[in-house]
Amino acid sequence: MNKVIIETSARHLHLSKEHLEVLFGAGYELTVKKELSQPGQYASTDKVEVVGEKGSLKMSILGPTRKETQVELSLTDARSIGVKAPVRESGDIAGTGSCKLVGPKGEVVLTEGVIAAKRHIHITPEDAAAFGVSDKQIVSVQVNCGNGRDMTFGDVVVRVSASYATRMHIDTDEANAASIAGEVEGVVIL
Ligand SMILES: [Zn+2]
């Protein structure tokens, strides 16, 4: 069986260098809190307030900085603060939701970049070959945690890169739907 470790991503954002400096001041560098499973990626101790039409949420910034700012939240979060968050792959932000970002030193009006991340599997070329999957392939993943909410996720996009560690990423709504707590494995179904 092709098993993959499933990790739950809490709401977070990625910032461009330009936006980081508007929000935190010129020359500001993020403070690393914890290395993430994907090589080179980390959670920082720094937070930004993401403001929608109905409310706001403080969100952690993941580093390093990226070419474009992107806010990733669950659909429950999106509804609670009043932002539009289409389901998209990371980086595919044209026409996505808008919000305001408030940092300690300044504010940014983000015209697009708010998404609910499409569930996905990061996978190394070696594991992709062993699983028989290719980049951009859509698969399903069966989750049986024994918590009374066994389910199969469809529409899971596979992303292959030598710079990845093999992991599936879902958001908190999806984890709750399957009663996932802590680290669990799923079975990839082609
Ligand atoms: Zn991911």
pLDDT tens, position by position, for the chain (190 residues)?
A: 899 999 999 999 999 999 999 999 999 999 999 999 999 999 999 999 999 999 999 999 999 999 999 999 999 999 999 999 999 999 999 999 999 999 999 999 999 999 999 999 999 999 999 999 999 999 999 999 888 999 999 999 999 999 999 999 999 999 999 999 888 999 999 9
Gap from CA of 185 to ligand 1 centroid (Å): 15
Say how many Å lie between the CA of residue 121 and the centre of ligand 1.
Answer: 7
Q: How many A from CA of 33 to the centre of ligand 1?
A: 18
Distance 89 CA to ligand 1 centre (A): 9
Burial of 173 (0-12, 13-18, 19+ CB in 10 A): middle
- Report which DSSP code applies to 58: E
Tell me, in angstroms, the distance from the centre of ligand 1 to residue 162's CA.
14
Q: How far is the CA of 159 from the centre of ligand 1 (A)?
A: 9
Listed residues: CB within 5 A of ion ligand 1: 169
Q: pTM for this one? A: 0.95
The CA distance from 168 to 5, in Å, is 6
- Integer-rounded Cα Rg, in Å, for the chain is 17
State both tokens at 86.
Answer: 């289409």
CB atoms within 10 A of CB 58: 10
How remote is the CA of residue 168 from the centroid of ligand 1, in Å? 7
